[in-house]
Amino acid sequence: MNDADVSKQIQQMVRFIRQEAEEKANEISVSAEEEFNIEKLQLVEAEKRKIRQEYERKEKQVEIRRKIEYSMQLNASRIKVLQAQDDLVNSMKEAASKELLRVSNDSKAYKKLLKGLMVQSLLRLKEPSVLLRCREVDRKLVESVLNEAKQEYADKANVHAPKITVDNVYLPPPPTDNEIHGTFWHGVRDFTFLSSGGVVLASQDGKIVCENTLDARLDVAFRQKLPEIRKRLFGKMEA
């Protein structure tokens, strides 16, 4: 083999090696590009998931806040409704209290009522000796029916007539006309300092007390009838 043939063969080998190298380089380049694209796609998907999760988290927060705000508004509305209902019920009681103040204006009817309250209290106490407390303005009326009340109780209970002592400490007085208008029109009535009448009887040792004032009876009747009053006023609206 001469030099020309050797040179030709070497060039062929060089071309073959170069071609093989180029092909290998292309394979590496393609493989690298594919790996890059896969990794890029994975990063993009990861970021998308992260964004979706963040969006869902914020969406849940918005929904929770919306529910909380709705609940607060609903509760506030319910409170307003309940307050309005209470105001209406209380206004009815105030109106009834105002009417009680007129009971003692009819002396004859009030005298009969006082006797009945005294007999009822004696029947509850069943004591041989009791202390009676009334308004100072009612003392004469009370004393005028005292013996009748004692005898009526004795006949009903089949016992001896009890001893009744009228206390010198009195129940609160009735309100004046100015107090009536000033108190009721402002929606407040102080039961501590005003009295519509009636009596309070107690055992001599003070351990047993029967409060039979008109105000106390109104309170009892109102508490007992309150569910019925609310049902009639508000029906199914009442929670």
Percent of the chain with pLDDT over 90: 47
Distances (CA, A) of 67 to 32, 76, 152: 52, 14, 67
pLDDT category of residue 145 using cuts at 50, 70 and 90: very high
> pLDDT by residue (tens digit) across 73-104?
999 998 998 899 889 888 888 888 888 888 88
The whole-number pLDDT of residue 155 equals: 95
Cβ partners under 8 Å of residue 170, min gap 6:
133, 134, 135, 136, 139
Q: Above 50 in pLDDT, residue 125?
A: yes
Dist. CA 111–CA 29, nearest whole Å: 118
Q: How many CB atoms lie within 10 A of CB 114?
A: 23
The whole-number pLDDT of residue 179 equals: 55
Q: Are 89 and 229 in contact (CB under 8 A)?
A: yes
Mean pLDDT, residues 160-179 taken together: 86
Dist. CA 122–CA 128, nearest whole Å: 9
Q: Which of 32-41, 152-161, 175-184 has the highest mean pLDDT?
A: 152-161
The whole-number pLDDT of residue 164 equals: 96
Residues β-bridged to residue 171: 135
Name the packing angle between helices 3-100 and 177-184 (round to 10°).
160
Dist. CA 57–CA 51, nearest whole Å: 10
